[in-house]
Amino acid sequence: MATAAAHHTARADGLTEADAAAYEAVFDAAVAADERIEPRDWMPDAYRATLVRQIAQHAHSEIIGMQPEANWITRAPSLRRKAILIAKVQDEAGHGLYLYSAAETLGTGREELLDKLHTGRQKYSSIFNYPTLTWADVGAIGWLVDGAAITNQVPLCRCSYGPYARAMVRICKEESFHQRQGYELLLTLSRGTPQQHAMAQDAVDRWWWPSLMMFGPPDDESAHSAQSMAWKIKRHSNDELRQRFVDICVPQAESLGLTLPDPQLRWNEERGHHDFGPIDWTEFWEVLKGNGPCNEERITQRRQAHDEGAWVREAAAAYAAKHKGAGRAAEGHARGVGGPSADQTDESGEA
């Protein structure tokens, strides 16, 4: 618990104005001192709301993000790749679970958040509205999409809200593992047959720009940025992170033997960064509004899985109610997480 904020863990209901100001001052001091805010600490309503929105959207992205990759599980071209891909999609479900738990510490239940996802009241990352058309897309997602996610998320490990920061530490470890696997998949294709090389190049061509859009709108159009940075939820601006990502990717593309689809991409000696071409923000906003290539399919599949699973969840609840207090029955249906063979994830990756 943040030491400064620990003095004020009471709920803010019924505070006088003077009390509220005092709480706010303690909160601000804790944030300024880089202390972690914990679930029982007082926090401004807007801070809570921003975090719920961001963490939920992050959780939704993990869950929807399973779809474009799961699309290739049944067609993976080797058993080793298939194992890696299943492990990865499994990790994403796990990340979703961590993140929903983190969001729940702020007082909003998973059911409510899922409902908001299903009814379009909360968003998920725009990147997952693009289709995976070839096997190489699985590699491009690992290298570029996970790479962009890591660039975004590593600073979140120092986010002012403790439960979110701790979830990000665990998630980032697994994400960087996935990213290396994606890179290695593309490298194998790039050095493979001419058809495989072409497949890899085509995938990078299609995923490059959408990956750059993952950092969000430019700084001057980003609605939540200033406040999030003041609260130390966010540590760097969208454009800063995007630039960092481009600088990381350029040499990696070179060693992959693949090109990036941007004729304006070149090293700028003076800035010490790569210059790059303009992003198609019209496309970005269209995808965000629901008009991307797969928005409809993604949300329909998610809703369908949820609706068709209703009878299963009802059965588990009815059983739990009947057998209340009967020992292990109370464990419910959550056994999958961290089961005895959860370490398989790493094994299959290294195989």
Partner 1 sequence: MTVTVHTAAALALGDDALVLSHRLGEWAGHAPVLEEEVALANIALDLLGQARILLSMVGDEDQLAYLREERAFHNLQLVEQPNADFAHTIARQLYFSTYQRLLYSELAGGDSEFAGLAAKAVKEVAYHQDHAEQWTLRLGDGTEVSHDRMRRACEALWRFTGEMFQPVEGLEVDRAGMREAWLESVADVLRRATLDIPEGPQSGAWTAGAGRQGLHTEPFGRMLAEMQHLHRSHPGASW
Show contacts with partner 1 in window 306-335 (CB under 8 A): 306, 308-319, 322-323, 329, 331, 333-335
Q: How far is the CB of 332 from partner 1 (least distance, A)?
A: 8
The site for partner 1, by CB under 8 A, has a size of 65
Stretch that binds partner 1, among 29-37, 146-154, 189-197, 230-238 (CB under 8 A): 189-197
Closer by beta carbon to partner 1, 30 or else 103: 103
262/205 Cα distance (integer angstroms): 9
**Residues composing the chain:** 351
Closer by beta carbon to partner 1, 32 or else 318: 318
Q: How far is the CB of 177 from partner 1 (least distance, A)?
A: 15
- Asked if residues 262 and 242 have their Cβ atoms less than 8 Å apart, the reply is no
Q: Is 180 in the site for partner 1 (CB under 8 A)?
A: no
Closer by beta carbon to partner 1, 50 or else 122: 122
Q: Is 305 in the site for partner 1 (CB under 8 A)?
A: yes
Stretch that binds partner 1, among 60-68, 157-165, 227-235, 259-267 (CB under 8 A): 60-68
- Asked if residues 4 and 37 have their Cβ atoms less than 8 Å apart, the reply is no
Closer by beta carbon to partner 1, 90 or else 222: 90
Q: Is 150 exposed, middle or buried (0-12, 13-18, 19+ CB in 10 A)?
A: middle
91/70 Cα distance (integer angstroms): 12
- Asked if residues 283 and 231 have their Cβ atoms less than 8 Å apart, the reply is no
DSSP state of 273: E
Q: Is 182 in the site for partner 1 (CB under 8 A)?
A: no
- Asked if residues 92 and 65 have their Cβ atoms less than 8 Å apart, the reply is yes
Q: Is 170 in the site for partner 1 (CB under 8 A)?
A: no
For the chain, helix (H) and strand (E) counts, in that order, are 15, 2
107/102 Cα distance (integer angstroms): 10
Among 6, 15, 22, 73, the residue binding partner 1 under the rule CB under 8 A is 73
The residues with which 161 forms a beta bridge, in sequence order, are 37
Among 115, 254, 336, 346, the residue binding partner 1 under the rule CB under 8 A is 336
H or E element in which residue 228 lies: helix 225-230
- Mark 40-73 as b/e (b = at least 16 C-beta within 10 Å): ebbbeeebeebbbbbbbbbbbbbbbbbbbbbbbe
Amino acid symbol at 234: K
Q: Is 133 in the site for partner 1 (CB under 8 A)?
A: no
Binding site for partner 1 (CB under 8 A): 63, 66-67, 70, 73-83, 86-87, 89-90, 93-94, 96-97, 100, 135, 188-189, 192-193, 195-196, 301, 304-306, 308-319, 322-323, 329, 331, 333-337, 339-342, 344-345, 347-348, 351
